[in-house]
Structure 1
Amino acid sequence: MIIRPAVPHDARGVAEVHVASWRAAYAGLIDQAVLDAQSVDGRQEMWASWIVRSEAGLPPIGYDVPVHRMLVADDDGVITGWATFGPGRDEGTSGLGELAGLYAHPAAWSTGVGHALVTRAAESLVEDGFDEAFLWVLHGNQRASRFYERHGWIADGTEKTADAGGAKDLRELRHTRRLSDGSA
């Protein structure tokens, strides 16, 4: 397995990971009808555009947010996970890095894919000049919270409500981490 920057050709694999991981990780946390409605084809189109625009230094269409980058875990041509990261997108997060998304295919859970991605994304944020970063975890997603805590991300008590993937009013908990301690 290698961790590398995403290219447009990766969009299908990224979409497959996205949909499979949402369905497995968020079962019981997001309405099942929303999970069932997730479409690999729709996500592929979205991610293809996202990757092309990111490579060009542009934000996603329709968003006024900082440009983020994507890393993929490539296991002999099969995308098994991905991470997106960049400058903080939320109000009041200027100067902070953000791990905006990290997903591994459920078949790759507990294989080191997530560890490799979170480590490389944190290293990239340090290379980009960030000393501290944050991420959001869906309330109730204990598996993700434990994973991030093992990697030094600590819940700081900040919460927000967001819409994503057709789901409304998702309660998310923020985790933060100092990156400049040399253990990215």
Structure 2
Amino acid sequence: MGRTPEIRIAAIDDAHGIALVHVASWRNAYRGLMPNDVLDALSVEQRENGWRRIISAPNATGRTVVADRDGEIVGWASFGPGRDEGASEQGELRGLYAHPTEFSTGVGHALISAVEIALREDGFASAYLWVLDGNDRAARFYESHGWNEDGTVKLDERQTMTLRELRRTKSLV
């Protein structure tokens, strides 16, 4: 653990660290909510390649920030204009993950605070995010930061499963 991490814009060299956090946090948070074989098949290498593409995309509408503690990526968050139909006037917190060893250390708080400030500075008066139904730890975290369920449900159809997600919103003004 140690000192508070620096929150900064992700660079291409962060792709491996982001991928490590991505895979570890998904396996921890979604065990019992997604099939084990899906979680066990997650590949750091594939995630790293995906993150390299995302970070280097020339026309990206979103941004990614990382929590960097002494050169180690311990968390990340992606955000930008809303991607859902009719939501472009809202900001969207697209994903926020801390490494499981960093839960309850302030990494998530630092990331969500930075994202809220950035979205506000981008001119968004409100923002939304999606939480996997049953991910109680994440729901409590977002609730504690003022993100409240608004009753909207989305079914995310994947090849091997359907994920039920609940929308949370927050006023940024």
The TM tier, using the shorter chain, reads over 0.9
**Structure 1 CA distance, aligned partners of 2:17 and 2:167?**
28
RMSD of Structure 2 on Structure 1 (CA): 1.0
Question: What is the CA distance between 1:94 and its match in structure 2?
Answer: 2.2
Q: TM-score, normalised by structure 2?
A: 0.95
- Is residue 2:17 matched to residue 1:13? yes
Q: TM-score, normalised by structure 1?
A: 0.90
Match of 1:169 in 2: 162
Q: SS where residue 73 of structure 1 aligns? A: strand
- Is residue 2:19 matched to residue 1:25? no
Calculate percent identity across the aligned residue pairs: 56
Asked if structure 2 preserves the Cα contact closer than 8 Å seen for 1:30 and 1:167, the reply is no
Match of 1:129 in 2: 123
**Structure 2 CA distance, aligned partners of 1:14 and 1:78?**
10
**Structure 2 CA distance, aligned partners of 1:122 and 1:7?**
20
What does 1:40-79 correspond to in 2, within 5 Å?
A: 40-53=44-57, 56=58, 58-59=59-60, 67-79=61-73
**Structure 2 CA distance, aligned partners of 1:119 and 1:13?**
21
Match of 1:63 in 2: none
Q: SS where residue 83 of structure 2 aligns? A: coil
Please, which runs of 5 or more residues in structure 2 have no aligned partner? none
Please, which runs of 5 or more residues in structure 1 have no aligned partner? 60-66
Match of 2:137 in 1: 143
Question: What is the CA distance between 1:169 and its match in structure 2?
Answer: 1.3
**Equivalent AA in structure 1 for residue 143 of structure 2:** E
**Structure 2 CA distance, aligned partners of 1:94 and 1:40?**
31
How many residue pairs end up in the alignment? 169
**Structure 2 CA distance, aligned partners of 1:172 and 1:3?**
27
- Is residue 2:111 matched to residue 1:107? no
Question: What is the CA distance between 1:109 and its match in structure 2?
Answer: 0.5
**Structure 2 CA distance, aligned partners of 1:124 and 1:167?**
35
Question: What is the CA distance between 1:92 and its match in structure 2?
Answer: 1.6
